[in-house]
Structure 1
Amino acid sequence: MLGVGSMGGAILEGLRRPEVRIARPIRVTTRSEESALRFSGASDVEAIAGESDPEANRRAVRGAGLVILGVKPWMIRDVVAEIAADLEPGAIVVSVAAGVTCATIEAELSDGVSVVRAMPNTPSLIGRGVTGIAPGAAASASDLATVSRLFATVGDVIEVREDQINAIAAISGSGPAYLFLYAEEMTAAAERLGFDPDQARTLVQGTIAGAAELMFGSADEPAQLRRNVTSPKGTTERAIEVLQGADWGTLFDRALAANIRRSEELEAQ
């Protein structure tokens, strides 16, 4: 794994869970010695810092059958060009960067190396991630299956076309931030109703976590679960009427469209 930022770090921590069965150690590169030191003493990770070893990325990919690009989107082209000559024939290069197409990466690589785009999300950290994967031009069904098995160790995986990856990013990749924003606003509203910060946090976070577990374990659709809580002419119905009056459907469409446009802008750069 080249780069262990917020997304790469979540994937890495998910892969390090004891019950996950993959070849170890996982070789990673970091920008600084300080970041690499976080893994000192870990038997399952070999960290190489670019700050002290200019050949860090090239060393890391030698002999690797699967390489995850965890660097920032604007760094992808340079990193791929740097490692291209050191990749093993038959290696699979997985990019988790938004706004960088498979074709952009493939243009820097030799024949025999395949590319797969993956769009995970940060709940991968606790094994509850959702990842969309899409094959590049040279990726085989076997390559895609390998990448699917990798990300299945940290959550659910769906296979999509590459032209759907930006929508995956808008829905599940960015989705945790939308939920955290909801929690943030609900907590603030609870405090305005007179609860202290600890009480507000307990009320909101406990409700979100419990409702999520209820939904996850239920065969009912979210709409039915909502109806189960919404008694006719009751208090919940009044609140739902206010929320639906704000036209949430259109609001979500606009928010996801803005997210997708930004991915398209990055692709065009």
Structure 2
Amino acid sequence: MDESTAPRTTARLPRTAMIGVGSMGGAILEGLRAPDVDIERPITVTTKSEASAAAFAGASDVTALSSERDSDANRRAVRGAEIVVLGVKPWMMRDVVREIAGDLEPGAVVVSVAAGVPNSAIEAELPAGVPVVRAMPNTPSTIGLGATGIAGGALATEEHIALVQRMFATVGEALIVREDQINAVAAVSGSGPAYLFLYAEEMTAAAERAGFDEDQARTLVKQTIVGAAQLWAHSDESPETLRRNVTSPKGTTEQAIIELQRGGWAELFDRALAANVRRSEEIERGE
């Protein structure tokens, strides 16, 4: 399959189970629960604590099971599911896969959203023939603006990959990549919101040091980020062109840009992404 982004689709998604709904799994779940997402409901989820499961009490679109109350929660959740999303911590992945392996439905697709766990490691714990697909989403999936990289394992067909791509296309852009690119996807878009929020933190603090109070600084920075992002979203121009449009020669913006570039932004971003990828590789090796 060509590397591409999936268009929004109205095709119904099949019954889905989610093992673990922490920060990333929870982001996916919230996106899938949106009223305009056509998915077979209820979505079955498992949580570690009974308190977390109780948060879904009364929800008609989610059935929550807790392993604290039911030791077979994960096994029960995957029965009948055509898509099984594994949202547990990387170091828990192999144990969870072994636990549910015997209860998977024939033809079910297993989807991992854990950083640092290759498809082959999951395939090794599953019965022969079970397809595995890695997905690396990010937290804006909660509002339908996610960016997800998707890579199929050795047994995943184009149809399996397309199904998973279709799922994540309901919560944003879904890009098919090679598996050797997944760690880089995690570094760019998976962790990317944190980089932007760090920028917002520092810019807000700088605005306060420039004399604005906390509310004023937050408003100025937040609206600037949101507005600039929407400007880019509605433009066919590159970020470089949009930046140049704001940067008049010998003007005030130019002076600020010069100072930022003197700080070595290019090298800084290279180092940051490399450190992110390196940590994913360490997790793969069990470090």
Q: Aligned residue for 2:8?
A: none
The one-character-per-residue Cα deviations of 1:59-83 (angstroms, maximum 9, x if unpaired) are 0000110000011111000000000
| 1:17 paired to 2:34 | yes
Q: Aligned residue for 1:126?
A: 143
Q: Give the TM-score of the pair, scaled to structure 2.
A: 0.93
Q: Aligned residue for 1:101?
A: 118
d(CA) in 2 for partners of 1:66, 1:219: 36
d(CA) in 2 for partners of 1:114, 1:88: 12
Q: Aligned residue for 1:171?
A: 188
Higher relative contact order (CA 8 A, sep 6+): 2
Q: Aligned residue for 1:43?
A: 60
* Matches for 1:1-269 after TM superposition, within 5 Å: 1-269=18-286
Q: Secondary structure at the match of 1:51?
A: coil
The one-character-per-residue Cα deviations of 1:66-104 (angstroms, maximum 9, x if unpaired) are 000011111000000000000011110000000001000
The one-character-per-residue Cα deviations of 1:192-227 (angstroms, maximum 9, x if unpaired) are 011100000000001000000001110100000000
Q: Give the TM-score of the pair, scaled to structure 1.
A: 0.99
Q: Could you say which structure has the higher helix fraction?
A: 1
Q: Secondary structure at the match of 2:149?
A: strand
Q: Secondary structure at the match of 2:19?
A: coil
d(CA) in 1 for partners of 2:104, 2:38: 24
Contact 1:91–1:112, Cα closer than 8 Å, also in 2: no
Q: CA deviation at 1:247?
A: 1.6
Query: Which consecutive aligned stretches of 4+ in structure 1 deviate over 2 angstroms post-superposition?
Result: none
Q: CA deviation at 1:245?
A: 1.1
The one-character-per-residue Cα deviations of 1:96-151 (angstroms, maximum 9, x if unpaired) are 00000100000000123100000000000000000000000000000000000000
The two structures, once aligned, show a CA RMSD in angstroms of 0.5
d(CA) in 2 for partners of 1:89, 1:36: 27
Letter of the aligned partner of 2:43 in structure 1? I
d(CA) in 1 for partners of 2:22, 2:146: 16
How many residue pairs get aligned? The number is 269
d(CA) in 1 for partners of 2:166, 2:175: 11
Unaligned runs of 5+ in 2: 1-17
